[in-house]
Amino acid sequence: MQPMRFNGRIRFGILALISFAAVALAWWISIRGTGSPVPDLYDLLRLLAAWGVAALILQYILASRVHWFEGGYGQDRMLDHHRWLGRAAVGLLVGHAALVTYTGLRLGDGILLDPGRLLGMLALLLLFATASTASLHKSLGLRYGTWKGIHLANYLVLPVAAVHFFNVAIVDSALLYPYAALAAGFSALVVHRLWGIARMHRNPYRVTAVIPEAKDIWTLRFSGPTVSHLPGQYLHVHLLRDGRREESHPFTISSKPGAEHLSITPKASGDFTATIGQTSVGDGALVDAPYGIFSYCNHDDKGKAVFIAGGIGITPFMSMLRYMRDHDRDRDVLLLWANRSRDYLCFEEELAEMAADLPGFQRILFMSDDPGWQGEKGHIDAERIRRYAGDLAERRFYVCGPPPMRRSILAILRSLGVPGNRIHYEVFEL
């Protein structure tokens, strides 16, 4: 399996640079066309609006599952940058609105409330409401489905804003051209999203098995079109249960590439996964895959690997280990896996078989709350990483687990002098 090319982030960076530069160039041309020697306040508010729209459309791109950008970027980092661009868009557009209001009051015109400006105010209020609610979803205790619905409502912002821009802001202005290009890009994103939904409906999956693995943990197997994926990648799935389509959720693919059945292994924890065990054989599913860059196959060296898992974070490593068992048997791999107790151990029989079958594979299990456990107790720490991993310079580290555990392990690895380019992880917290 060939490693993925790491160019998605570069592609997006070039696109962002071109977008902001094109807007600035058109803005400057429009100023020169008026004969004004220097930009005035009105010119500045137009630039803020144009950059705000560019930031808004770029953050749509980062949230739209565009594979051309996702490869080598990673959905977690894309979504993090999506949040920052969304905040930048809100800041720029609020600044634009504030300057418009200030200019009107300074000139004695008051606040003009013609239809075009009213639509601009409506678009800004929609953007501010959706962005702030999404950012505060944890404090507000929003369910995942509610959070996602708020994000989808964001797609209403730009069409409303476009009426404002094309009727008020770009009359006889060179800004018409970048605005038109940005609007075309947004339209292409909507078409891409609708096409993806239609493709999922044309190629449905069926649940063929619901396998209890451990306490509150199940493996769901699906039959359907073959997914060409790297071990460690993930998918988005809508389950169709009781005649109702559930919200889309991301889950790591726990099956190996080329397996007869695609599988995921969720743990009951959130508002949706709490009911995962109620899934039945024969239920339908809509699958969008693959995504993510968390795979040892993205690194073509043959060095030693350390997999550090916390709880259900074992799932991407199971996909990798299953793939290794068939295609990369001699690789030196150390698995450090932390759980609360033996109740949450899944795949233990299979992992024991791998330890006996793969010459370079070693697994060490940690239990933080299991008095009868005879192995390692407590949490994975620096001393035990050094003890089991040996020469850290020879190792490449892969980390997957709950956010507190992941942050702790990353801090430990950095304190041990492991360079950042040898530490790999993905983040899936909202």
Quick: pLDDT tens for 358-380. 999 999 999 999 999 999 999 99
Q: What is the pLDDT of residue 34?
A: 62
For residue 348, CA distances in Å to 32, 135, 260, 343 come to 71, 39, 22, 11
Task: State the sign of the Cα–Cα–Cα–Cα dihedral 401, 407, 272, 198.
Answer: negative
Give the dihedral of Cα atoms 306, 250, 353, 302; nearest 10 deg. -40
Q: What is the pLDDT of residue 150?
A: 78
Please name which of 324, 271, 275 lies closest in space to residue 295, comparing C-alpha atoms: 324
Average pLDDT over residues 97-114: 71
Per the prediction, the chain carries an average pLDDT of 87
The 10 Å Cβ neighbour count of residue 134 is: 20
- Give residue 207's pLDDT band: very low, low, confident or very high (50, 70, 90): very high
DSSP symbol at 215: T
Q: What is the pLDDT of residue 162?
A: 82
Q: What is the pLDDT of residue 304?
A: 92
The yes-or-no verdict on residue 197 having pLDDT over 70 is yes
Task: State which CATH number among 3.30.365.10, 1.10.287.70, 3.40.50.80, 1.10.3210.10 fits the domain covering 298-425.
Answer: 3.40.50.80
Q: What is the pLDDT of residue 110?
A: 55
Same topology between domain 204-291 and domain 298-425: no
* CATH no. for 204-291: 2.40.30.10
Distance CA 399, CA 413 (A): 10
Query: Could you tell me the residue ranges of all domains in the chain?
Result: 8-200, 204-291, 298-425
Q: What is the pLDDT of residue 2?
A: 40
In this prediction the pTM is 0.86
- Architecture of the structural domain at 8-200: Up-down Bundle (1.20)
Quick: pLDDT tens for 119-146. 888 888 888 888 787 777 777 777 777 7
Q: What is the pLDDT of residue 7?
A: 73
Q: What is the pLDDT of residue 36?
A: 61
